[in-house]
Amino acid sequence: MKLASYRDGSRDGQLMVVSRDLRTAHFATEIAPTLQRALDDWNFMAPQLQDLYDALNAGRAPRAFEFEPEKCAAPLPRAYQWADGSAYVNHVELVRKARNAEMPETFWTDPLMYQGGSDDFLGPTDDIVCPSEAFGIDFEGEVAVITGDVAMGATPAEAADAIRLIMLANDVSLRNLIPNELAKGFGFFQSKPATAFSPVAITPDELGDAWRDGMVHLPLVVTWNGKVVGRPHAGTDMVFNFPRLIAHICKTRNCRAGSIVGSGTISNKDPQVGYACIAEKRCREIIADGVATTEFMKFGDTIRIEMFDENGASLFGAIDQVVAAPE
């Protein structure tokens, strides 16, 4: 099924079920008022949401209405946890190679992960508001999952059973703030503003054969200022699948229902597929020519991130944003 959160003036929005073709929706508030409430009691509420979803797709839902992504918040407008991994080690390898830094072998066996701010996510069409272009504004196209409860010490197999929903993410980075933050030895903070998510989050079964081995086996289409700059394949070169990332979180703690786990920037070894973040393009330029020529985003720039099934239908809807200065 496909779920979304309608903006209604509250912090957590109003849960909706969205049709498979993303054309119609139906409020699910009689089942669960918010997505977090549904996740808290998933085994009881998911079958009821599925029944409503089936009725909506069959044209039998009594109060269906047109689905408008611009009226959506993130599927989870705020979350108990947002943990972003770096599952595509090729991305890390390129970044380190561009600055002549050796990459430890452990990066291939032990996931990198940071804990981002989860109190304030962006909806799929919200502006990316940044105080200054000089901060080095960059997009990052990712896949993310929402979990149920996962116990401390869970195995990857146990973690796989707790994956409830899948969505797309634009994990915005302010590249020119990153070096000074990392130099302090304590990770990202100011360099990672609010993350945006796709209009809908979908259950793994919606992907059919494209969901296997804990990965999404489809390309991510990244369009910057109206030009497609990348079609990296989410199932290619993913060193750590989602069950591995979730198990990594759970080594020393529980992971509670409503936690969001990101893949990190989707990155393929083949440069012909393009890129899902500007930093990777700049790294390839530095490696090849000694200097980066592609600039970061400017005010007024647009970024669109979307994924399609084998028939060309949008699966999650699009993240479609504009970069803007504060008002």
| Residue-wise pLDDT tens digits, 229-261 | 999 999 999 999 999 999 999 999 999 999 999
CB atoms within 10 A of CB 239: 17
pLDDT greater at residue 150 or residue 183: 150
Gap between the Cα atoms of 142 and 267, Å rounded = 9
CB neighbours (10 Å) of residue 110? 12
- Dump pLDDT digits (tens) for 119-134: 999 999 999 999 999 9
pLDDT 10s digits, 275-289:
999 999 999 999 999
According to the model, what pLDDT value does residue 95 have?
86
Please return the burial class of 259, using the count of CB atoms within 10 Å of its CB with bins 0-12, 13-18 and 19+.
buried
CB–CB of 249/145 below 8 Å? Answer: no
pLDDT digits (tens, 9 = 90+) for 61-113: 999 999 999 999 999 999 999 999 999 999 989 988 888 888 888 989 999 99
Query: Facing residues of 138 across strands?
Result: 173
Write down the pLDDT at residue 104: 87
Q: Please give the pLDDT value at position 187.
A: 85
